Structure 1
Amino acid sequence: MKKRWMGVLLALASAAVSMSAQAAKGDLLFKLKNKTSAALTEFYASPPGTEDWEEDILGQDVLEPGESVKITIGDRREDCRYDLKGVFEDGEAVEQRKVDLCDTEVYEFTE
């Protein structure tokens, strides 16, 4: 009986360590600053090498030149590199590849 309870306790401890390791990864937080001369109407961040862009992070919002907004990416990836895509009010798009977002509190999006 003692051995069975020890096995259960070890399994619970292992699960708790695994869950706390997952929580330690946390969300990726940064401030996006529009350092261009045009309004940014869409902004996307996707893992490098994926075929599709994730959803538009700005949603209905528009980021005017010089403005900034706090961004949270909650995908809990260990790799901080993302492909970024900004779409401007005239429809022009600018893509930036393999940007490391963990090394910055403020990311300045430029043309």
Structure 2
Amino acid sequence: MNMFCRTTAVLATFGFFATPVLAEDLVFTLNNFSALGLVEFYTSPAETNDWEEDILGENILAPGMSGEVLIADGRTQCTYDLLFVMSDGQELEDTVNMCELASYTLQ
């Protein structure tokens, strides 16, 4: 798959195309500036013990690529846990205030 098609597939997965955004929806740009592909990406409200479904699905966010992420779960909270699974199997976790987040960069 060429770079354009892969980018389009990833952006479509992230809800990049025109979608109505409700007040509770959270939107941010995810930048993968690491040397590895991002193969799985999970979020969940910080107070829960389970991860939501993989946002990427079957797609991969290749190194150097970015995409817009839309979390439209209807919740009104701001603090979310993030779990990134890289192409080498490495897992990275973080907790962020999504209401103040314009972008998140993996390096």
Once the 2 structures are TM-superposed, how far is the Cα of residue 36 of structure 1 from its aligned partner?
Answer: 1.7
List structure 1 segments (4+ residues) > 3 angstroms apart after TM superposition. Answer: none
Under a length normalisation based on structure 2, what TM-score does the superposition of the two structures give?
Answer: 0.73
Alignment root-mean-square deviation, CA: 1.7
Once the 2 structures are TM-superposed, how far is the Cα of residue 49 of structure 1 from its aligned partner?
Answer: 2.8
8 Å CA contact 2:24, 2:76 repeated in 1: no
What's the % identity of the aligned pairs?
A: 44
2:9 is aligned to: none
Distance 2:47 2:26 in 1: 19
Unaligned runs of 5+ in 1: 1-22
Once the 2 structures are TM-superposed, how far is the Cα of residue 83 of structure 1 from its aligned partner?
Answer: 0.2
1:108 is aligned to: 105
1:25 is aligned to: 23
* Count of residues paired in the alignment: 87
1:53 is aligned to: 51
Q: What amino acid is aligned across from residue 31 of structure 1 in structure 2? A: T
Unaligned runs of 5+ in 2: 1-20
Instruction: Tell me: CA distance 1:109–1:80, structure 2 relative to 1, closer, same or farther (3 Å).
Output: farther
Distance 1:26 1:50 in 2: 18
Under a length normalisation based on structure 1, what TM-score does the superposition of the two structures give?
Answer: 0.70
8 Å CA contact 1:101, 1:107 repeated in 2: no
Secondary structure class of the residue paired with 1:25:
coil
Larger helix share, 1 or 2: 1
